[in-house]
Amino acid sequence: MQRTAQDWLVFTELTENNATALGLVMALQFGPQFLLLPLTGYAADHLPLRNLVFVTQSVMAVLALLLGFLVVSDQVLLWQVYLIAFLLGCATAFDMPARQTFVSELVPQNHLTNAVALNSTSFQTARLVGPALAGVLIGLVGTGWVFLINGLSFLGVLAAILLMQKEQLRYRDLSATPPGGMVQGFRYIAANGQILIAMLMFMLIGTFTINFPVYLSTMGVREFGVDSGRFGLMTSMIAVGSVLGALMAANREQPQLRYLLLGASVLGCSLTLAALMPGLVSFCLVLILVGVSAQTFMTSVNGSVQMWTIPEMRGRVISIVFALSVGGAPLGALTVGWVADHYGPRMALGTGALAAFAAAAVGLVFVARNRRRNLTAS
């Protein structure tokens, strides 16, 4: 709900359908994950995860309530949205690796892959309901109340964290965490070819492909002339596919590199198809396939990196992989927004598709070299 209302606020209420401004908001929200990398990975490996997640979620709640108050009181300015988006990005930078790593303290190792996928399913289910509900509420009560409702919803999150039974958590031995900061994490990734390739693929797709707010805002408003309700519905179509992709991933016992290749390839094809759709209905139907392929790729990256990493290094490795991919979103969002403003939203979708195909090519080269090396050795 927060993201949908924020995109609508910037794109239609504070600017005259300016995709570059929307891209800048995305850049400010995702940039801190890269800028704060030395701190976020260290925190995820050295601090109690339950406490860390509680703090980050509390900060997000306060920021949502603050933005809601500014909008409802008719005091909101574009620079304030930029600032709150940046602060939200800072909180998310600490929350993301801690929350992802926290899954490993909730389940046994042999269930980790399934738990990661089910965690993604619950998140994507919220993405399914949230945007559609936000679209309806924007039309009924206004954008500001969507932010206020989101802020209050964090009470349920915080209560759930407090109600967890500490004795059932599988705490890590923090004293066994290898010394060294992010340099140690980079060395670990460099020594593990599979993690390195997954990171490179995720960097390409996270930077230039996963820019759905720009795609949907520009396509919806400029090409199809949607209102707030149909804008939320468009976002929900991606979430429908994401839920399906996450559920399919939950059935896999072990992560494999081929799922990354499959997800990247289908994502490129589906974005290309979306760019060619002539009407809103056909566009929304293709968005389901976009959601399936995007979630297949992202869940495969998350599960693979966690399974291929030793527990003591997991926080730093996850932080690096996601920061370098999501942290590239500022460049990608601004680039895709500029393309949309100057060459049209369909070309922006084509840019995202091209990056997905490039990521698939990187993975294929790695697989081909490994097979060639294995044949030579045998």
- Fold of the CATH domain 2-164+181-377: Growth Hormone; Chain: A; (1.20.1250)
Residues 118 and 96: their CA atoms lie apart, in Å, by 16
Q: What are phi and psi of 177, to 5 degrees?
A: -65, 125
Asked whether 33 and 93 are in contact (CB, 8 A), the reply is yes
Tell me the average pLDDT across 235-247. Answer: 78
pLDDT surpasses 80 at 83: yes
Q: What is the mean pLDDT of residues 134-152?
A: 90
Structure-model confidence comparison of residues 237 and 62, the more confident one = 62
Q: What is the mean pLDDT of the chain?
A: 84
Distance CA(43)–CA(52), nearest Å, equals: 8
> Considering the chain, what percentage of its residues have pLDDT values greater than 90?
32
Closest CA to 287 of 330, 364, 234: 234
Reported as a single tens digit per residue, the pLDDT across 50-68 is: 899 999 999 999 999 999 9
Kindly state the average pLDDT of the residues 228-241.
79
How far is CA 223 from its chain centroid?
25
pLDDT-derived band at 127, boundaries 50, 70, 90: low
Indicate the residue type of 216: L
Q: pLDDT over 70 for what percent of the chain?
A: 90
Look at 146 and 17; give whichever has higher pLDDT: 146
Q: Which amino acid makes up residue 237?
A: M
Q: At residue 192, what are phi and psi to the nearest 5 degrees?
A: -115, 100
Q: Give 285-332 pLDDT, tens digit per residue.
A: 999 999 889 888 887 887 788 778 887 787 788 778 877 776 677 778
| Predicted pLDDT of residue 178 | 56
Phi, then psi, of 216 in degrees rounded to 5 = -70, -40
Report the candidate in 99, 5, 97 with the shortest Cα–Cα distance to residue 322. Answer: 97
Q: What per-residue confidence (pLDDT) applies to 171?
A: 66
User: pLDDT: is 121 or 28 the higher one?
Assistant: 28
For residue 179, the model assigns a pLDDT of 55
Domain residue spans of the chain: 2-164+181-377
pLDDT score of 234: 83
Confidence of residue 334 (pLDDT cuts 50, 70, 90): confident
